[in-house]
Structures are given as structure tokens and as C-alpha cells.
Amino acid sequence: MSASSSSPETSPLSWHGTTILTVRKGGKVVVAGDGQVSLGQTIIKGTARKVRRVGAGQVIAGFAGSTADAFTLFERLETKLERFPDQLKRACVELAKDWRTDRYLRRLEAMMIVADPDESLVLTGTGDVLEPDNAVMGIGSGGMYALAAAKALLDSGLDAEQIARKAMAIAAQICVYTNDSLTVETIDATAS
């Protein structure tokens, strides 16, 4: 083994996991996340809740990345939503600015999907606030698998939650860091 090769004995274990997906269809927005948390090649927990409601329940947020970092970001997002009620994009832009410029926050390793009745956004640690061109977004280790599956199912007769559940099941069959223990939150965009 060369000096530049890493082995489990010499390299630190890294946390893996998470698939987060959002789907908009038929006046509903759904955010779904799997429950697996892995350290190296070991599953530490299979039922983690990586999706939750914030902002008085009118915003759904899901995270991919370190759990401690995600809780910090959830708290910061709550604060921004209190400061800018009913302005999800503004709250997210302000959070992204802090995330990029604050010395402590810059070290956080996570991504978030946030959605309210009107819009869905991805937030990254590089200061990006991205809005999808279409009705679906995915992040995390299995995010691209879930995204591809959801895009393929958008034209089907399935509703937003059914698409999210089916796409997440497909991702769980492909990605070793994704399981089928889901947390699913839905907002009825027509009721707001």
C-alpha cells in the first residue's frame, strides 16, 4: 500500500447519508427524507428525522449532512423566518449570506431543501440559494437517484406524495447510504 493510499486504519471515518427530495404537483408540495445515518461502512441509526416543519409550520425543511450542523441551520432558519415572516426566499438569502460569511457557519457541512406553499429552494454552504426549473429537487447521497425517479414519475397519475415515496424507494434500492424509513411532510399549497 502506498503512502498516499488511505485505509480504514489511517483515515478518519466520515459520516454518510441522507436523501432528501421535494416534489410539487397538484397543489401540494412534499418533502421526504430517509432515516439512515452511517459512519464509515456502519449504519449508526436507521430512523433519523431529517425533515421537519419550521416557521410556524408553514415551511418544510430537510437536510443532508452532519446532524449537529443541520440543527444549527434549522435554528438559524427559524430565526430568519421570524425576522422575515412569509418571505421564504428572503429568509433563505439572509441565511445563505450568514452561512457564507460567518466564521463558525462557514465550517458547517450540510445542504438544505426548504419549501413553502409558493416555492422550493436548495441552500448550500457556498452561499447558493437555488430554485428548480421544474417541480422536483433532490440532495444528499441518493438525491440524484430520487430526483431522476421523481422526474420520470411527474407525468404519471400519481400525486406528489406518491411520487416522492416511490422515488425514495427507488433511491433506497440503489444508494447504500439511503434506507426506506421515510419522514414525509406535505403542505397543501391551495389551502394557503
pLDDT digits (tens, 9 = 90+) for 13-25: 555 568 999 999 9
- Total of domains in the chain: 1
Instruction: Say which DSSP state 127 is in.
Output: S
153-166 burial string, b = 16+ CB within 10 Å, else e? bbeeebebbebbbb
C-alpha cell read off for 21: 427530495
Which of 6-20, 36-50, 62-76, 146-160 shows the highest mean pLDDT? Answer: 146-160
Residue 122 counted as domain residue: yes
pLDDT digits (tens, 9 = 90+) for 58-112: 999 999 887 777 787 888 899 999 999 999 999 999 988 887 776 666 666 678 9
Residue 192 within a domain: no
CA distance 22 to 41: 27
pLDDT at 13: 56
Query: What's the average model confidence in pLDDT over 127-135?
Result: 87
| In-domain check, residue 135 | yes
The parent domain of residue 54 ranges over 16-178
- The chain-wide mean pLDDT, for the chain, equals 86
Q: Determine the Cα–Cα distance for residues 120 and 150; give it in Å rounded to an integer.
A: 15
Domain CATH number, residue 134: 3.60.20.10
Residue 10 maps to a domain: no
| Three-state secondary structure call for residue 181 | coil
Range name among 9-13, 33-37, 86-90, 137-141 with the lowest pLDDT average = 9-13
Q: What confidence score (pLDDT) does residue 3 get? A: 40
More confident site: 67 or 186: 186
- Return d(Cα 15, Cα 80) in angstroms, integer: 28
Q: Is there a catalytic annotation at residue 18?
A: yes
Of these residues, 18, 19, 42, 183, which one is catalytic?
Answer: 18
- Domain contains 184: no
Q: Cα-atom radius of gyration of the chain, to the nearest Å?
A: 17
Q: Is residue 31 part of a domain?
A: yes
Count of CB atoms situated within 10 Å of the CB of 178: 28
User: Is the model's pTM score more than 0.75?
Assistant: yes
SS3 content of the chain, % helix, strand, coil (to 5): 35, 30, 35
Residue 189 maps to a domain: no
- State the maximum Cα–Cα separation within the chain, in Å, rounded to a whole number: 61
178 annotated ligand-binding residue: yes
**Alpha carbon distance 42, 166 (integer Å):** 25
| Domain contains 79 | yes
